[in-house]
Amino acid sequence: MNEDMNQVTTDKESVSAKIKSGLKNWFKTSTDKPLTKWDKTILIVVAVLALFIFYVALDANKYRATVHVIEGEGKVGVNPTDLALDFGDLSRGTSAVRRVDLQNGTFMPMYVFMVKTGGISSLVKIDKNNFRLNPREQTKIEYTVYMPASAPVDATYNGRVYLFKVPTFGL
């Protein structure tokens, strides 16, 4: 049994060695030079940067945004939800406001920015965008939709708002 364990360990070590030599040989054959320390440093920096961008994108708050156009003057129907930026039913020439409370519970400042997508993006106005949120600070962000007089009745505008919080590491 001990012999079997030694065989498994040797197999794992040989696989690991083959992978390492395979990467070195692949780089060497594709560039006609060996992998230098500078090349390794660049690869590590690029990998860390890619992981950081992946983390920021994964940590983003993603809100579904929607508004429905109804007939009439001055009519507003609001849906009481805190899971989406649902502006409800708006007649032409009216507006609705939704608020999001944002709190930085970390020990480092965050840079906050938002991106709007979809058909509703041209209708949504954000009162604060591209700002710094200090540690233990909180703020309210207002999203306002104004329904233009040219909007077709019974149309529904949908989209998404992505709220990114990027750690600034005190910079």
Write the pLDDT tens digit of every residue in 23-33: 666 666 666 77
- pTM (2 d.p.): 0.69
pLDDT at 113: 93
CA distances from 153 to 73, 88, 124, 139, 149 (A): 12, 14, 18, 35, 10
Question: Three-state SS for 112?
Answer: strand
Summarize pLDDT for 51-71 with one digit per residue, the tens: 888 877 777 889 999 999 988
State the architecture of 61-167 in CATH terms: Sandwich (2.60)
* Dihedral sign (CA 25, 26, 32, 34): negative
Q: Is 118 exposed, middle or buried (0-12, 13-18, 19+ CB in 10 A)?
A: middle
pLDDT at 18: 60
Cβ-based neighbour number of residue 147 at 10 Å? 23
pLDDT beneath 50, residues of the chain: 8
- In angstroms, the CA 163 to CA 102 distance is 10
The residues with which 110 forms a beta bridge, in sequence order, are 133, 167
- In angstroms, the CA 82 to CA 124 distance is 17
